[in-house]
Amino acid sequence: MTKFVFVTGGVTSSLGKGITASSLGAILAARGLSVASLKMDPYLNVDPGTMSPYQHGEVFVTEDGGESDLDLGHYERFIDRNLTRGSNLTTGQIYNAVIAKERRGDYLGATVQVIPHVTNEIKSRIHRVAREAQADIVLVEVGGTVGDIESLPYLEAIRQFRNDVGRQNVLYVHLTLLPRVATGELKTKPTQHSVKELRSIGIQPDILVARADEAVDDELREKIALFCDVKVENVIPEPNAWSIYGVPTMLEDVGLGRIVVKELGLEAKEPDLAAWRTLEDRIRNARIPLEIGLVGKYVMLSDAYLSVAESVKHAAWAHGCEPRIRWIDSERLERGGDVEPLVGLDGIVVPGGFGYRGVEGKVQAARYGREHLVPTLGLCMGLQCMVIELARTALGNEDANSTEFDAFTPHPVIDLLPEQRDVTEKGGTMRLGSYPCVLQEGTLAHKAYGQPIVLERHRHRFEFNNAYRELLATHGMRFSGLSPDGRLVEIVELRDHPFYLGTQYHPEFKSRPHRPHPLFAAFIDAALAHARANGRADAQAPVREAVR
């Protein structure tokens, strides 16, 4: 039978439940166990697709087109398993389903209440993930913090869950903070209160993970165990890690994987964490500095471009490089009109986004990359900015644009997809999920992938206007990736440029720490060559072969 591990958080938000849950998944997978993940978010939005990145960070897209929480990106990267839209549950989804059932009369006239109707719907979604994934373990992260009113239905549901499936099949892991006070001490009182709050709901945590900014000594662990009624060995210290990719081995070394397997009565092989330790060595030994500019309008919150930044790191580490990401505000480029933030870069990434704000700064970054032969990678809107920039050069004026930014432009080189013209609702109505792309032989894209057809994840409403293919082709643009019917442009690149490539899709969602995405690997390869050509990297330093 499938086992269930529920991860809750206390004291404060942003403790790193997602990284902890992902790392636990990684060390369980290293034991040969099949792991599936579920993130339960207590907000009333149906999904984060319509939320500002400043509210929620990036929107991660699954293979089947689900717009989901960014923690699903961590899950996929750490357990190396593609998830589905069912792996992200929100209160909006729950109430939508409950109200729809009430309207159909499914409840046979009963008064619809949080208990049992809402909690039953939550439990059914947990069972659905277990059933569809056929996994040995389902890791369920409960968003928010214990004590939040929004989280109460979820906590009640997971309390009931242990009685439903049997105590031996459920484990509760509670993540808390040991804050440091002015005297320099780490204090356990907030943890005690958090556990007390959880126990008042009816949940006794089996394992406590104690976050701190330094090592947690045995005396503190014993105190936590005594006051929170948890076995001492089940109080797991989790000090700040040198990298998020060091957390799996850190948690393994303090025994978390062994304890979970023992508590759930699972049969598992000895953990094989060789790949994670190799990755750690690769990160620690990265010596060649690379300056990569990430040009976006949400750079004040790096989580808005989380998967992009991680993909750059994965590829850089595989090349023996230390990535130094320069966060460049596209609005600053737009307002100031200068290119000073772009000077000295070894590579430029122009990521996705929506709306006209900051777009001209992205166009300016694309122009700088093209004219100065700096390796440039455009993602989704980044491709569109590349097209707009070259079209303006080809036409000899600044009129070319996307109808998203200028509805009355005389040269709509980027336009709304035909099937999007009658769409009125914003949520979940874009071109979403995995679609095939046919690569043209002899192109940068084909060389990077090493295969003729690829499947990549999309999230867009606007697309290249085919009326401008011939014009841009005469100015060096190659349409190196197309949809199978040839109707949609998926990849553009320039002929006489070391690396100038844009994708309409989001390759960052498929990069893995042990297996960088081919396009990011090719981009970093070109950035390294550019750095060496300009005397900004040690030409004699050994370069590790990129992991494919």
DSSP 8-state assignment for residue 482: E
In degrees rounded to 5, what are phi and psi of residue 37? -130, 150
Catalytic, 380? Answer yes
- What is the C-alpha to C-alpha distance for residues 503 and 385, in angstroms, rounded to an integer? 11
Number of residues that make up the chain: 548
Q: Round to whole Å and give the CA distance between 217 and 267.
A: 31
Our CA dihedral for 11, 16, 17, 19, rounded to 10 degrees, sits at: -170
User: Token digits for 274?
Assistant: 């060789």
Active-site residue, from 291, 310, 493, 508: 508
The torsion angles phi and psi of 296, rounded to 5 degrees, stand at: -150, 175
Tokens 């040009």 correspond to: 295
Query: Can you say how many angstroms the Cα of residue 289 is from the centroid of all Cα atoms in its chain?
Result: 24
SS3 for 341-363 is: HHCCCCEEEECCCCCCCCHHHHH
Q: Is 174 a catalytic residue?
A: no
**CA-to-CA distance for 53 and 329, rounded, in angstroms?**
14
Within 10 A of 50 (CB to CB), how many other CB atoms are there? 15
Q: What are phi and psi of 132, to 5 degrees?
A: -75, -35
| Nearest residue to 419 via CA among 384, 387, 460, 480 | 460
Which position among 380, 456, 463, 493 bears the catalytic label? 380
Using DSSP bridges, classify how beta strands 207-212 and 170-177 pair: parallel, antiparallel or unpaired: parallel
Given a contact cutoff of 8 angstroms between Cβ atoms, the answer to whether 344 and 291 are in contact is: yes
Q: What is the largest CA-CA distance in the chain?
A: 77
Number of continuous H segments (helices) and E segments (strands) in the chain: 18, 21
Catalytic residue list: 380, 506, 508
